[in-house]
């Protein structure tokens, strides 16, 4: 560690480009300071200081001195010292990581108050009640956040104080009530921690700084990072900021505002304001808020100044801005700005709006939306029926249609969700400790709080449906019930439906309709439809631009004409995986496969194959017709044959019962013998894929003949079929060479018999580590590779997917071994390294080798970016994920080209 490394920066020294070092909050406070906006003075401890502290358990050697120097400069600037008795300087200590993590880490306000300085604050402010209210807030926040005291103890004491006063409102407690409450809180600290509440202001500040550092590794912060895929090694900055007070009286207050509606993207100013309150009151949702229009009536001067600042910030950042502010006796102060979290619909609308305003170009607009957001827009929406009973109406905080059983705490939400139940988490207001329940729930419903409350902000960030501030509901978490304004009692476990787009809450399950975005892709959207306030037009414009920008083609995994037609409507450029085994399903065809398996001589085998041939051919004719002019990659039979036979237990019982009746069934007996013969300890690594084609004479030949004859028939009918034959589970080039020879023989025979020249490429799936390692050899016999990343992940990790996901993946995720399941997002370091090696070696042998991926990773946003970087030609995924893959392929091309305008 260099001795000269700087760990503390004044707000006057940084800028918004230093987020890695100063965190998002610190960088933006510096940026607002640079813009000349009214920001309370302060300084930032860097993320590097946090990393040293967490790695070594101690501060960097120079940190104490640097903090002291910046504190002295701050005291000189403000003309008062931290915690001095007669005129105390008070500061807040706030977290601030590079990526916004709302409520997940710690904040402490009013640092510097003590038994000695509270009277000085009262004299300085002329408001004794304010001084004691600030002190009780400090003891409460410090006790919970820094000293680890159970927050419920403070809440219960506060409720008891209000009950003794005969009120439910904090504001009705006077100075003497609050003074008594401070002593009660201090006694709780002494009892629970064995030490007195610290009276030295510098000790308070240092302990608060350490607590913020530690909160980076707190349970809720780690859970949030895992959910949002934020790296664990970034650390958090700490911001020490001069306190300004919104709780000095009715001419003071605090608020949170957005330069556009974060829920819908509508142009305008949105936010919440509370008179005579501090910032945590708004975010916590403890009191229902006023609107900014109400602020205009209360304090026109501050309102006008706030509007001007918000306009300036949006133009400066060229994006929706989320702003925290405080008004202290008519003086406006800016406490934070950041790029605001928004819903998926708002993201698309705002991106296009900013293009139309000339603030950003289409490349930047495409960069600002994600495939995950597009997927959210494809979820269904409610279609309330006349008999749907509405029980409440709150604020539409985060859109979506969520249905589930009511639960009243986070633990139950997680427990029920893991057992397969869909739940709605209902709280008076949420707090950061509810995060795991919010993740588990289908949606969140609160009876308090506004659009900027904790529940709303976190739900929007996660894409969860949320309705806040449903005041008609009386939520009783202890008795596990809620009561509507007309007396209807809803117990835990009853089903409700919440509409995050309208704020309406219904009892029971409400029917749903397709999303208008899905209707747009399907081509069924009514021409004169409202189209959700321009949402569909925004999606159309950005999807069109993604198609222009992307290099990767996007194909579909489709096995029949219906799926192929849908895929084409969704923008597929062919089929990357047609699984022929799905064509053998159905009672009639399953019987024919049984005949093939039971055949014990060439004649019976050939008869079974000849029966299957026209069935397969008919399927391919339909598929090639649906995908006329586009490539169709057909995978030859892959799964173990036992999957086409009856279950061994069921069949054994059937045979035993027949024998007990002395009426044995010869076919069942033969089937049972076959099942026993084909039984394998690990069938997914047994007789399947290319091994079937080598062991069962004529099987792959029949399938290739069906493909070729179907292609010839379509050509003769004037079509343009473009089939490709893919041999699965190849581990060595010798396997592929043998099967290729058979395929070429069959193709030549069909060309002669039909008189049609066929150009059918032959390739293989790369789904075994050995195939990836020896890709250079395999490319000698393959015209294309398609990476089967599902099986490749299983074989690289040594996982049986069906077993491990249910047995220990949850523990691996909780312990941070996985950031995300490797079956969901490509494992770049392991599986990804093999993919890159195979790409390099394969193209070294055959420069024109076509490369694709056909595992479900092909539709995962993050994985699409990897496949673009790796140099693949296309990705293939299920039809419903095609729009997501198209969008992400465009975004990946922008990132690689470095053409975004960040």
Residues serving a catalytic function are: 454, 854
* Pick from 397, 477, 486, 489: nearest CA to 443: 397
* Pick from 695, 696, 724, 692: nearest CA to 708: 724
* Pick from 644, 745, 631, 732: nearest CA to 691: 732
d(CA 270, CA 681): 62
For 338, the enclosing helix (H) or strand (E) is: strand 331-339
Q: Is 150 helix (H, G, I), strand (E, B) or coil?
A: coil
d(CA 538, CA 764): 39
* Pick from 399, 404, 397, 400: nearest CA to 380: 400
- Calculate Rg over the CA atoms of the chain: 33
Q: Is 474 helix (H, G, I), strand (E, B) or coil?
A: strand
Residues 6 or more apart in contact with residue 203 via CB below 8 angstroms: none
| CB-facing half-sphere around the CA of 566: CA atoms within 13 A | 15
Residues 6 or more apart in contact with residue 168 via CB below 8 angstroms: 162
d(CA 303, CA 253): 12
Task: Give the DSSP per-residue string, 545-568.
Answer: HHHHH--SEEEEE--SHHHHHHHH
Residues 6 or more apart in contact with residue 466 via CB below 8 angstroms: 397, 398, 443, 444, 445, 446, 455, 456, 459, 460, 498, 500
Task: Identify the burial level of 663 via C-beta atoms within 10 angstroms of its C-beta, where 0-12 means exposed, 13-18 middle and 19 or more buried.
Answer: exposed
Write phi, then psi, for 466 (nearest 5 degrees): -150, 135
* Pick from 251, 300, 257, 254: nearest CA to 277: 254
**CA of residue 151 relative to chain centroid, distance:** 29
* Pick from 24, 37, 26, 30: nearest CA to 308: 37
786 in Cβ contact with 763 (< 8 Å): yes
* Pick from 705, 720, 722, 712: nearest CA to 757: 712
d(CA 278, CA 298): 17
For 627, the enclosing helix (H) or strand (E) is: none
Q: Is 121 helix (H, G, I), strand (E, B) or coil?
A: helix
Task: Give the DSSP per-residue string, 52-107.
Answer: HHHHHSS--TTHHHHHHHHHHHHHHHHTS-BT-SSS-B-EEEEEEESS--TTTS-E
Residues 6 or more apart in contact with residue 216 via CB below 8 angstroms: 50, 54, 95, 97, 105, 235, 236
| CB-facing half-sphere around the CA of 280: CA atoms within 13 A | 16
* Pick from 76, 112, 90, 80: nearest CA to 203: 112
d(CA 435, CA 705): 56
Give the strand order in the sheet containing 331-339: 290-291, 267-275, 253-260, 321-328, 331-339
Strands 321-328 and 331-339: antiparallel
Look up residue 720 and give its two tokens. Answer: 């343009």
| CB-facing half-sphere around the CA of 804: CA atoms within 13 A | 15
Per DSSP, what are the bridge partners of residue 507?
A: 389, 496
d(CA 472, CA 179): 34
């Amino acid at each position: 560690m260099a001795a000269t490394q700087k760990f503390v920066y004044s707000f006057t020294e940084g800028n918004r480009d230093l987020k890695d070092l100063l965190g998002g909050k610190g960088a933006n406070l510096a940026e607002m300071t640079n813009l000349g906006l009214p920001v309370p003075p302060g300084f930032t401890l860097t993320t590097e200081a946090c990393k040293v502290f967490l790695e070594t358990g101690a501060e960097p050697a120079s940190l104490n001195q640097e903090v002291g120097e910046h504190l002295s400069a701050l005291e000189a600037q403000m003309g008062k010292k931290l915690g001095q008795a007669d005129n105390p300087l008070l500061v807040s200590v706030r977290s601030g990581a590079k990526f916004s993590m709302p409520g997940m880490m710690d904040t402490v306000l009013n640092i510097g108050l003590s038994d000695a300085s509270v009277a000085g604050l009262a004299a300085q402010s002329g408001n004794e009640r304010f001084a004691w209210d600030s002190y009780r807030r400090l003891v409460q926040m410090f006790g919970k956040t820094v000293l680890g005291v159970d927050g419920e103890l403070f809440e219960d004491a506060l409720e008891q104080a209000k009950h003794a006063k005969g009120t439910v409102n904090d504001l009705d407690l006077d100075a003497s009530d609050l003074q008594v409450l401070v002593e009660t809180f201090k006694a709780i600290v002494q009892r629970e921690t064995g030490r007195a509440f610290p009276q030295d202001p510098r000790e308070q500040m240092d302990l608060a700084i350490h607590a913020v550092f530690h909160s980076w590794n707190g349970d809720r912060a780690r859970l949030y990072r895992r959910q949002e895929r934020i790296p664990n090694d970034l650390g958090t900055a700490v911001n020490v900021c001069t306190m300004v007070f919104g709780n000095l009286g009715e001419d003071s207050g605090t608020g949170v505002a957005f330069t556009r509606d974060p829920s819908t993207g509508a142009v305008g100013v949105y936010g919440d304001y509370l008179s005579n309150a501090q910032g945590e009151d708004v975010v916590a949702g403890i009191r229902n808020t006023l609107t900014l229009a109400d602020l205009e009536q209360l304090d026109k001067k501050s309102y006008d100044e706030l509007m001007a600042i918000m306009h300036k910030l949006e133009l400066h950042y060229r994006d929706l801005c989320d702003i925290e502010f405080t008004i202290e006796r008519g003086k406006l102060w800016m406490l934070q700005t950041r790029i605001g979290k928004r819903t998926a619909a708002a993201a698309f609308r705002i991106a296009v709006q900013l293009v139309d305003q000339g603030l950003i170009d289409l490349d930047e607009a495409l960069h600002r939306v994600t495939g995950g957001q597009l997927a959210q827009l494809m979820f269904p929406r409610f279609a309330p029926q006349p008999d749907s009973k509405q029980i409440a109406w709150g604020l539409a905080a985060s859109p979506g249609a969520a249905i589930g059983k009511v639960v009243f705490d986070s633990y139950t939400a997680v427990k029920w969700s893991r057992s397969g139940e869909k739940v709605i988490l209902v709280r008076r207001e949420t707090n950061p400790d509810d995060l795991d329940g919010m993740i588990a729930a289908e949606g969140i419903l609160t009876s308090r709080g506004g659009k900027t409350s904790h529940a709303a902000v976190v739900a929007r960030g996660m894409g969860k449906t949320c309705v806040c501030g449903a005041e008609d509901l009386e939520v009783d978490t202890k008795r596990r019930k809620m009561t509507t304004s007309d007396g209807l009692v809803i117990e835990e476990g009853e089903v409700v439906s919440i509409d995050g787009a309208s704020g309406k809450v219904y009892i029971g399950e409400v029917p749903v309709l397709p999303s208008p975005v899905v209707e747009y892709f399907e081509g069924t959207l009514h021409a004169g439809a409202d189209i959700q306030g321009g949402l569909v037009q925004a999606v159309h414009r950005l999807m069109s631009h993604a198609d222009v920008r992307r290099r990767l083609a996007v194909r579909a995994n489709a096995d029949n004409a219906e799926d192929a037609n849908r895929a084409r409507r969704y923008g597929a450029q062919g089929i990357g995986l047609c699984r022929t085994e799905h064509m053998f399903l159905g009672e009639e065809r399953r019987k024919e496969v049984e005949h093939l398996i039971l055949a014990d001589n060439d004649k019976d085998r050939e008869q079974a194959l000849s029966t299957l041939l026209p069935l397969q051919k008919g399927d391919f004719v339909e598929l090639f017709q649906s995908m006329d002019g586009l490539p169709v990659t057909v995978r030859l039979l892959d799964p173990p044959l036992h999957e086409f036979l009856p279950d061994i237990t069921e069949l054994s019982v059937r045979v035993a019962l027949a024998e007990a009746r002395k009426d044995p069934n010869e076919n069942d007996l033969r089937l049972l013998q076959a099942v026993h013969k084909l039984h394998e300890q690990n069938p997914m690594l047994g007789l399947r894929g290319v091994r079937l084609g080598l062991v069962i004479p004529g099987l792959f030949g029949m399938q290739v003949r069906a493909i070729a004859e179907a292609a010839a028939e379509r050509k003769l009918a004037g079509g343009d079929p473009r089939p490709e034959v893919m041999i699965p589970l190849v581990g060595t080039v010798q396997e592929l060479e043998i099967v290729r020879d058979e395929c070429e023989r069959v193709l030549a025979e069909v060309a002669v018999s039909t008189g049609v020249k066929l150009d059918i490429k032959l390739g293989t799936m790369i789904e075994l580590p050995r195939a990836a390692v020896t890709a250079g050899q395999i490319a000698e016999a393959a015209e294309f590779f398609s990476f089967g990343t599902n099986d490749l992940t299983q074989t690289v990790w040594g996982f049986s997917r069906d077993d491990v996901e249910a047995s220990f993946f949850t523990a691996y995720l909780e312990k941070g071994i996985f950031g995300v399941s490797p079956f969901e997002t490509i494992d770049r370091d392991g599986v990804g390294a093999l993919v890159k090696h195979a790409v390099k070696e394969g193209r070294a042998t055959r420069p024109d080798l076509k490369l694709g991926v056909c595992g479900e990773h092909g539709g995962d946003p993050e994985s699409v970016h990897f496949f673009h970087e790796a140099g693949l030609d296309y990705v293939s995924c299920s039809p419903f994920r095609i729009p997501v893959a198209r969008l992400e392929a465009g975004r990946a091309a922008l990132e690689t080209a470095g053409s975004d305008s960040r």
